[in-house]
Structure 1
């Protein structure tokens, strides 16, 4: 690569020496950022590029495959590095909270999200300037609506990861490159404004192709933004919880499309039930073929050696204990059934030789083959794994980014925080009964329902990139990390990632 760059630079130097006027000439059919936006096909292609940055996919290894999982999974109090993780110092520095602003993941997650923002701004600006001869009003509205949602999404991701961010609603140029960090209040307002705007422009689910932003996604993320803002002492307002309720209501009452809980909890994560009625916004993957390549190996990172994975991550015994804490009171005589869809652990359920439920084998078989013992003290994640990890290279298993169950629990939390505890309880019970086969809760006070909601979010959303952020907005990070033995952690220093060194070096308005 360095040789190719050197040759290009040398070639440009020779051209400059031979004929300065030549540099001013431009091929009349060469597309530029000004001439590119000619029709609806160009507009759609620009929008596709905007979607391509979701969850740092464009930087496959240091972004999607390792960066995002390590940053969002490793920092949970219920996660541990897997047996392979010790081979990667940059993984372990995230887990041990001794990274700095030059860390590769800190840089990649920042830059890929800002790439998405810049692409979104180009679509919003350039498509907005297209004439009726170039694009229909309906197509223009839909494309700009999706780009506006994505700009809100990228800013939201940045704001949850980093203490301070730059709000960019303009196309990057020499004149706009240097820009100061926004206050968190300013940044939250930018996110909220975009989700509000998008919700007034987008279609309902079922009226657009899978994977595209819908009005339901915009409203769900608007509610989530208000809920997260409510837990941000630097930006919260007394109205945040009520605003969250108002945002979630259209998703729940069906105004934004019909969403329902799926009874088979495990099917939400194993690739067998993609784009289902519970899915609100879902990251689309496809096993590579002769015409396209958009696959993932997240399952290899998550899967333990014993099932053919790479052993990148495992769960703590404390997670198993927490998920078993209500006892075997499910209607089928087991623990809360979400336990079995979230983790693998040594238990009669996974040791039933008549019905081998662990990738076609029993726990003891796999552990004895791989480790020479039953490995009873270990717990492994099950979510985002196909039914068979062995020999599954790059696959097309989708990852849902927003589920209806999450909306229901966030809605119940906001209701409880505003004193409408009696309204929150039936919603909690709906999720418990459908996904966990669990009986109705017996607590009724606002304080006890809050504790129950904390438990429900563990049962429902483990390994779905919410645990660390939930603990932060609840003010529980220090307590949880100390209980997990993560003694290096201090919320005052590690609750957010630092602004990357690369941004500081390249932006004269940041010091």
Structure 2
């Protein structure tokens, strides 16, 4: 399923292009007459996916925020290549070094993009509940997709900001938007995330038969989200129920070759549980993050977007050293064949999303969100946390075996703590550059410790860092200034 953007015009009433507080006039299509047919509701739910394209790629139509900056560069996995010729990318440098403020444009873009998606889900769910023109099967599927997406947007929002506005109905007036503008604690939002995820599980299909539906969320997608939510809350038994159901379904398996997960010709494969869809070519639905992740002065040797638009999400030395000897994921994930002609030093770059494409800057690379290997590692972690460590080795070692590594044994991991650390290490290298690391550190409760140690090494390696870099390690990002000013 590639996202049809036509319906965006019909959703303009609560589209939140500048802020979720803004109410945009209806244009092109009346919202009172649009939500009347099966095809219209399918178009509407397609549009509810579309903000994810900008959120994950940071390009194309609408606000985004470049989640890779908030979830990877924020961690010890990646940083940036210092750009001596163009210093206009400092907002991203600030995120990497924990010195951003509430005016940072990437934070407001992520906020706006997320609430754009939420507002579309709210409209769909309300209009669908009031419609008698849509058959039961379509109604269930569309409701399940919208419920999942709303839960997913909110889960990322509270992990980034902590407290955010709780908006669960269509915004129909300026007064209505201001009445819901005040942020509430994440503890008040988690129950609704769980409710939406549970609803999605009950309504979504196990899979789709039509090729045009590839990329839509399934029952397993919603189960994976719910399991991650439960793990964040330390509800390990709740997570196990969802993860075991995914494994028992028999719908997913590891690709024999790790690199196949990122091959543009093998997208939405047997390991894929959810990935953000893009289309190669001049269609406003392409991705170009492989250019953004290239060294800024690499020219055509790698994939050069140009000056300040490139050199981001560069693997750190800590990340390079995280791989064990013989781990096939290193060569598949990180390129190590570019030397900066000015400094004569190696500049590694993310290789796993490289692909051939006809039009420069317009790639068809999807962005993985949930893979079956992620499920196996979450299962191993949850089993360990419930005291079933002996059973957890099977899941952990499936992932290691695919990477060409020897199985871990009870003799090597003789305690719950040792196994916990092994899973964290495995998640780091298996899911590198897929927007998991920072959120994992938060969930483990080790973000401050890990990033404080990382800061010492980064400062020693990068003498150009300003003095206030890593001065504090806050666990949430600043709430966007514009939203503070608009809140009552």
TM-score tier (shorter): 0.7 to 0.9
CA distance in 2, matches of 1:99, 1:390: 37
Deviation of 1:55 (Å): 5.1
Alignment partner of 1:342 is 2:333? yes
Corresponding residue for 2:246? Answer: 251
Alignment partner of 1:466 is 2:436? yes
Residue 86 of structure 1 contacts residue 92 of structure 1 at CA under 8 Å; is this kept in 2?
no
Deviation of 1:205 (Å): 2.0
Unmatched segments (≥5 aa) in structure 2: 1-25, 305-309, 459-467
Residue 302 of structure 1 contacts residue 385 of structure 1 at CA under 8 Å; is this kept in 2?
no
Residue 343 of structure 1 contacts residue 379 of structure 1 at CA under 8 Å; is this kept in 2?
yes
CA distance in 2, matches of 1:488, 1:303: 23
1:479 is aligned, of 439, 449, 453, to 449
Residue 222 of structure 1 contacts residue 244 of structure 1 at CA under 8 Å; is this kept in 2?
yes
Bigger shift: residues 475-484 or 416-425: 475-484
Corresponding residue for 1:200? Answer: 202
CA deviation vs aligned residue, 1:338-364 (integer Å, no higher than 9, x gap)? 12212123xxxxxxxxxxxxxxxxx3x
Residue 51 of structure 2 contacts residue 64 of structure 2 at CA under 8 Å; is this kept in 1?
no
1:81-120 map, 5 Å: 81-84=80-83, 86-120=87-121
Alignment partner of 1:435 is 2:403? yes
Residue 302 of structure 1 contacts residue 313 of structure 1 at CA under 8 Å; is this kept in 2?
yes
The alpha-carbon distance between structure 1 residues 494 and 323, as it changes in their structure 2 partners (threshold 3 A), is same
CA distance in 1, matches of 2:317, 2:121: 43
Alignment partner of 1:314 is 2:310? no
1:266 is aligned, of 234, 259, 268, to 259
2:32 is aligned, of 25, 31, 34, to 34
CA distance in 2, matches of 1:315, 1:423: 33
Alignment partner of 1:416 is 2:389? no
Deviation of 1:173 (Å): 2.7
Q: Secondary structure at the match of 2:368?
A: strand
1:43 is aligned, of 18, 41, 56, to 41
Corresponding residue for 1:11? Answer: none
Counting matched residue pairs gives 433
CA distance in 1, matches of 2:37, 2:357: 43
CA distance in 1, matches of 2:194, 2:471: 29
Corresponding residue for 1:17? Answer: none
Deviation of 1:299 (Å): 0.4
The alpha-carbon distance between structure 1 residues 152 and 241, as it changes in their structure 2 partners (threshold 3 A), is same
Unmatched segments (≥5 aa) in structure 1: 1-26, 231-239, 328-334, 346-362
CA deviation vs aligned residue, 1:396-431 (integer Å, no higher than 9, x gap)? 111111001001101110111111101111110111
**TM-score (structure 1 length as normaliser):** 0.79
Deviation of 1:61 (Å): 6.1
**TM-score (structure 2 length as normaliser):** 0.83
Deviation of 1:66 (Å): 6.3
Deviation of 1:184 (Å): 1.7
1:295-334 map, 5 Å: 295-304=286-295, 305=298, 306-309=301-304, 310-324=310-324, 327=325
The alpha-carbon distance between structure 1 residues 74 and 59, as it changes in their structure 2 partners (threshold 3 A), is closer
2:470 is aligned, of 449, 470, 489, to 489
Deviation of 1:440 (Å): 3.7
Alignment partner of 1:153 is 2:145? no
Q: Secondary structure at the match of 2:265?
A: coil
CA deviation vs aligned residue, 1:378-399 (integer Å, no higher than 9, x gap)? 432222222x589742111111
Q: Secondary structure at the match of 2:31?
A: coil
Q: Secondary structure at the match of 1:281?
A: strand
Q: Which has the larger radius of gyration?
A: 1
Bigger shift: residues 482-491 or 198-207: 482-491
Q: Secondary structure at the match of 2:413?
A: coil
CA deviation vs aligned residue, 1:235-282 (integer Å, no higher than 9, x gap)? xxxxx111111111111111xx61000011112123232111000011
Alignment partner of 1:500 is 2:480? yes
CA distance in 2, matches of 1:97, 1:154: 23
Q: Secondary structure at the match of 1:484?
A: helix
Deviation of 1:448 (Å): 1.1
Residue 83 of structure 1 contacts residue 312 of structure 1 at CA under 8 Å; is this kept in 2?
no
